[in-house]
Amino acid sequence: MRLLVVDDHPIMRIGVRQLILADWPDAQIDEAASIAAALGCVAAARPDLVVLDLSLPDADGLEGASRMLRALPGVPLLVLSLNAEAAYAARLLQMGASGYLAKDRAAEELGAALRRLKEGGRYVSATMADHLLDLLSGKAPKALSHEKLSSQEHRVMLLIAAGHTPAEIAETMHLSVKTVGSYRARIFEKAGWKNNTELTKYCVQHGLTRPL
């Protein structure tokens, strides 16, 4: 089995590698510190599974997952994240990710998660599963501003928060600048923000992106 581990922290990559080899001693493991490097690995050898961190230098938040899913259709993607928010996990699963695991649970659950994905299933921790059920059943607390957004609007929000211009967002998402402007207007209307500064401050406060 060949796996691709994408994380910009060398210590985290070492830890994930050791956890994988504990269960699959003969596994071939490629490592990348960015999405660009990951896509280079994919071009050289297609992995059977991908373990992806969401906070990368060249693709923060959902954007990295979106790019990997486009590059590797049909390959199971397990997202590792510091963000334990159910709505965030739900968006990634809706996008096509096969699993979502908080980093503080990786030591205990990574092996089980990868086995589940290898068998063709999906994986979230028991605690996250409970939160997701509450979210779907309407028992979760009142939706936060970003939870009201569509998946495309959410991606645009994160790219704005990361400091990208409308032209850059359009190129990244394969949209016209006019369409990006329409998304931005809908985001502000739904969330009640008046400008990009308010949007960015909100994203940082809620752990959706890193401060610039």
DSSP secondary structure of 80-130: EES---HHHHHHHHHHT-SEEEEGGGHHHHHHHHHHHHHTT--EE-HHHHH
pLDDT of residue 212: 42
Q: What is the mean pLDDT of residues 20-36?
A: 94
Give pLDDT tens digits for 85-128. 666 788 888 889 999 998 888 899 999 999 999 999 999 888 77
Please check whether residues 41 and 98 belong to one and the same domain. Answer: yes
* Other beta carbons within 10 Å of 55: 19
As a dihedral over the C-alpha atoms of residue 104, residue 106, residue 108, residue 111, rounded to 10 degrees, the angle is 170
Tell which of 109, 137, 165 closes a domain: 137
Please check whether residues 50 and 93 belong to one and the same domain. Answer: yes
Residue 50 lies in a domain: yes
Residue 49 lies in a domain: yes
CA dihedral sign, ordered 13, 82, 158, 87: positive
Please check whether residues 113 and 57 belong to one and the same domain. Answer: yes
Residue 142 has pLDDT above 70, yes or no: no
Please check whether residues 132 and 151 belong to one and the same domain. Answer: no
10-24, 140-154, 165-179: least confident range: 140-154
Provide the residue range defining the domain that includes 113.
2-137
Please check whether residues 130 and 154 belong to one and the same domain. Answer: no
pLDDT of residue 31: 96
Please check whether residues 109 and 10 belong to one and the same domain. Answer: yes
pLDDT of residue 85: 64
Q: Can you give the CATH number for the domain in which 52 is found?
A: 3.40.50.2300
Please check whether residues 112 and 10 belong to one and the same domain. Answer: yes
Please check whether residues 24 and 99 belong to one and the same domain. Answer: yes
Please check whether residues 27 and 8 belong to one and the same domain. Answer: yes
Q: Which two tokens stand for residue 24?
A: 């699959």
Q: What are phi and psi for residue 70, nearest 5 degrees?
A: -70, -35
Tell which of 137, 170, 185 closes a domain: 137
Residue 148 has pLDDT above 90, yes or no: no
Residue 174 has pLDDT above 80, yes or no: yes
pLDDT of residue 57: 82
Residue 28 has pLDDT above 90, yes or no: yes
Question: Over pLDDT 90: what percentage of the chain?
Answer: 60
Q: Which residue has the higher pLDDT, 142 or 98?
A: 98
Please check whether residues 32 and 115 belong to one and the same domain. Answer: yes
What's the structural domain count of the chain? Answer: 2
CA dihedral sign, ordered 8, 10, 11, 17: positive
pLDDT of residue 151: 75
pLDDT of residue 211: 45
Q: Can you give the CATH number for the domain in which 182 is found?
A: 1.10.10.10
Please check whether residues 22 and 123 belong to one and the same domain. Answer: yes
Please check whether residues 109 and 54 belong to one and the same domain. Answer: yes
